[in-house]
Amino acid sequence: MKATIGLIFLFAVINVSLSLTLRELEFIKGLYPHEDIPKLLITSLVNRRIDQVRTLYERESIGKDAKTFLNTTNQSLQLLLEAMDSNNTQIGDVLENYSQIVGIMEDVSHNMEVPNFDYLHLNLRSSFDREELQNLLDAYIDDIEMVRMCEVSLGRSDRVDMNIFDRLKSLSNELRNFTFYRDDRYFTESYNICTKTIDLCLWQLKFLLNQFTVIFIKPQI
């Protein structure tokens, strides 16, 4: 009952209108179009965010106001976990409130000088710079690992194609280790080659994620 009242209060206080959906939720919902998202996965999602908040809190560069904000954010996320444990809250309500909390974090991320890629989507635009693509790629890898651990716990490890997962990790390493050489005499040509290399990495990411999703949602025999 306490958790339910707390959630009502949280919902009343938080009034954020987001024009974009969270990348992680968009991806996860795409994996479960015809079934409920496992409660275990949602719990892992919230706990992952709590770990992120705690890591930020420990930074020496974070000011007192930011630490207060992060502490309050942690409490809000913990409240969601309590609500899930009480079985009085629908998964949809948890995801909606989770999105609102993350939206508030995004609003102040620049004040804490923290890069934020929560709303970076593959379909957002046709190209990304190297840093954006690297962070996007690593975020999807982390999502898949979280999904894999959940499915293993549920006895459905076959749903996760590890070959594709390994290809994504290999792509991430390749992108991170790319050395782009510059010759000032041919700067335009060199720049064009670099951007097209990144564009091809983006194509691979889209292709592999599409394959992964198709295999994941394929009915199990």
- Same domain for 140 and 48, yes or no, is no
- Same domain for 90 and 167, yes or no, is no
Which of 38-42, 45-49, 59-63, 200-204 is least confident?
59-63
Q: Is residue 91 a contact partner of residue 9, using CB atoms and an 8 Å limit?
A: no
For residues 12 and 215, give the distance between their C-alpha atoms in angstroms, rounded to a whole number.
Answer: 40
Q: Which structural domain, as residue segments, surrounds residue 8? A: 2-16+37-108
For residues 80 and 71, give the distance between their C-alpha atoms in angstroms, rounded to a whole number.
Answer: 15
**CA angle centred on 206, ends 203 and 211, rounded to 5°:** 125
Which of 10-14, 98-102, 159-163 is least confident?
10-14
- Same domain for 134 and 102, yes or no, is no
Which amino acid belongs to residue 119?
Answer: Y
Give pLDDT tens digits for 186-196. 556 656 788 89
- Same domain for 47 and 144, yes or no, is no
Interaxial angle between packed helices 130-153 and 162-177, expressed in degrees from 0 to 180 and rounded to the nearest 10:
160
**Average model confidence (pLDDT) for the chain?**
86
Helix or strand holding residue 97 (H, E): helix 91-108
- Same domain for 50 and 99, yes or no, is yes
